[in-house]
Structure 1
């Protein structure tokens, strides 16, 4: 841990200062991609092969209809802004996912099972946040959980790490099962053979050794730097506040039930606890639901309706609870919540009663964090195939995230050739802010 902290310092981590109240972002990334036609952009007047066989429901926002499987979310649309013309023009999970999580198109586009690494090694949005922001406590400033996004076969998508910025700025990945009855995070608790007395003795010994070297070298050299980084590492273990952030058992059991006692539900609850503890960016990846169709994710190539009836109630419950919970705690105004995926689904139902990959137009929803709720920006055509107006691209989403959490949009990062590059090529989506 001290070595990691030294690496971060050597890489030039720069804190930002701002007079405004710090804000956070919870990014809900829905692996496989839900269909826009059955969620945020229904087409009830389209032919049957386009609209599907699910109905629509009215929402709390006059004129805004949603898919029928979103009744709890429909009551909260006055808090939500819907983007109906998001576009990557990429129909592959991993390369389109790279674009969505970095704001830079994969080269070339349409590459399934694309691997992390050069030349597609632009840093993920969380890595940029880690480089430019320092948290208010001992926790890192960007965390991903409960696992990486990956294709079947454990094929990890590119665009989830720090890329050319270096491993020191990787978002902290928590591989965890928070739905477990005995959930605990490895590394934050002392191992059985190190009781608190021994832990304090180790820290005392380190301080004595550090004092000895400081007596020899008063120049602020490596020895004092080691002390600083080691102290941070010890603080993370010793910090009661850091450990409490991961203690889901401290929550009211009824609230845990509202989030849902499944992996995604408890992961989102954990994300809320982390932003409450001062983490600026938490990404929650959808994980496969055991026993559900299409391997439990949103890649509904077959039996689209049946699959949605299994998955949408879980997402509707967790998403709506998160918005209500943040609102009840006075945190929603300072927490941007993003519902997103790597792309959308095809306009027409295929021969297997499913929908295939479609990056030409899809929907993303934002709430809180300064978003003007009850709004819809952009539109797709009559069959949800292509944008009609108000196109939004992934770089605009990354710019909006950076703007929200306090990373200046004119910040620069340096690639491996020493070239200064802007952290984003997009614009804040001011139409909904």
Structure 2
């Protein structure tokens, strides 16, 4: 018997789905989120979707790749618009791909290109938040760059939140690996020596215990971009953020710090409320568990991969990070974000010219993504892993004199594969100049709803905000089910 507003209700006696979700959001009468979701399922209304994917690998190309130079070429456009790159045929009917993406053109039967992504937030930080959360950032354009505690939780953090609740409900203890990880660095860490950390990947108001496990890989100097150059094994340490040299606690000091925290906690319990203490203990337990976990260390050790596999992905940071993502998913992580970040202007944000895009970014992206899709397929993991690759925006149709392009969030492409996505297809269309969507617009809300539903999470789910109010994880979008076979 379920009690809402102090009145008993059987699971099928007319309790609305909204009432159950609201109760779940605020945790009424001590009932946990998993139990209330189970009650919702038992009522026959709003049963959770059948999961298509066990995991998601989310590749973010920060800075905004040009649609006209990647997956939406317009060879018949005026020469002042169409761009300097030649189109090549792919295995997908009607899909022309850049000459600098030949590997992906050869396996386009394994993925779908969405040519109609669009949103109004024409700003890197705000758009990065929007793409990773499905929610518009609360900071106006130009008023900030970096994460805040009021940010919306990322999709990965929502998955982490739900999985941690399920673990507690089942008394499963602390998992050896997190549900959510970010590699190789938190977004923006290599930009201007970390002055421009970007929002979107964090748990925001949901709470820091649902933040991703994040690794750290540094660059050599200000002008270095390890994302596209070959990196040595000494560089590719993928240390957990906060535990890199000079950043935090060494593993051999963990036990000492634990004893210090125990003493500290004993004093805190005299002053703090029980709820805060429990939350702090759970955060510390998870952090220490991940640090000392052999499964974590093994999954992050790329040296365990055969040299031939590593070569296939590319020895550059983006390629090896994409390989780490496959290792993490194989080990049981449910959501892995891989950033292809900018390094002090050397990135996808190509205002002045497209030389870096042509010579470095597109070849390494082509190599890593094609290797990932083939590797997942050969290992039998592609059917249960949703792969998403996109930037936070596109580029202006009108170029600069040297074929750079400005910011353009009205239109940009996304690549989706695995988990039942119909390969060899396209979705949506742009106008003759690749400036605007003319068919099947897909906004970040719909992308988030699609990803959630693929994972078996209802996109109508509500979570408690800091005031305990039930808050929808998606508003203004629905899953794009036509993408799936």
Above 0.5 in TM-score?
yes
Separation in 1 of the partners of 2:409 and 2:328?
A: 32
1:321 aligns with 2:371: yes
Separation in 2 of the partners of 1:396 and 1:192?
A: 42
- State the secondary structure of the residue aligned to 1:49: coil
Q: Which residue is equivalent to 2:472?
A: 422
Q: 271-280 vs 240-249, which deviates more? A: 240-249
Q: Give TM-score scaled by structure 2 length.
A: 0.74
Q: Which residue is equivalent to 1:392?
A: 442
5+ residue gaps, structure 2: 1-29, 39-47, 219-225, 264-274
| C-alpha displacement of 1:410 | 2.8
Structure 2 counterparts to residues 31-430 of structure 1, below 5 A: 31-107=62-138, 110-111=141-142, 113-117=144-148, 121-134=151-164, 137-150=175-188, 152-153=191-192, 154-176=195-217, 179-182=231-234, 183-184=236-237, 185=239, 236=290, 239-288=293-342, 295-305=345-355, 307-425=357-475, 426-430=477-481
Tell me the alpha carbon deviations over residues 321-343 of structure 1, each in whole angstroms, 9 at most, x when there is no partner.
01111111110111111111110
| C-alpha displacement of 1:243 | 2.3
- State the secondary structure of the residue aligned to 2:216: coil
Q: Give TM-score scaled by structure 1 length.
A: 0.82
5+ residue gaps, structure 1: 1-9, 210-220
- State the secondary structure of the residue aligned to 2:80: helix
Query: Number of residues paired by the alignment?
Result: 401
Closer/same/farther in 2, CA of residues 160 and 21 from structure 1, 3 Å limit = closer
Q: 97-106 vs 312-321, which deviates more? A: 97-106
| C-alpha displacement of 1:408 | 2.5
Aligned 8 A contact 1:145 1:175 in 2: yes
Tell me the alpha carbon deviations over residues 210-264 of structure 1, each in whole angstroms, 9 at most, x when there is no partner.
xxxxxxxxxxx99999999887666545543332211211100111111111111
Q: 363-372 vs 405-414, which deviates more? A: 405-414
Aligned 8 A contact 2:157 2:180 in 1: yes
Aligned 8 A contact 1:94 1:111 in 2: no
Separation in 2 of the partners of 1:267 and 1:175?
A: 11
Closer/same/farther in 2, CA of residues 260 and 112 from structure 1, 3 Å limit = farther
1:431 aligns with 2:431: no
Q: 330-339 vs 399-408, which deviates more? A: 399-408
Closer/same/farther in 2, CA of residues 155 and 226 from structure 1, 3 Å limit = closer
Tell me the alpha carbon deviations over residues 41-69 of structure 1, each in whole angstroms, 9 at most, x when there is no partner.
00000001110121100001222111111
Structure 1 segments, 4+ long, off by >6 Å, are 15-19, 221-234
| C-alpha displacement of 1:115 | 3.4
Closer/same/farther in 2, CA of residues 13 and 170 from structure 1, 3 Å limit = farther
Separation in 1 of the partners of 2:371 and 2:117?
A: 25
Instruction: Say what the alpha-carbon RMSD is for the aligned residues.
Output: 3.5
Q: 223-232 vs 321-330, which deviates more? A: 223-232
Separation in 2 of the partners of 1:282 and 1:302?
A: 32
| C-alpha displacement of 1:305 | 4.8
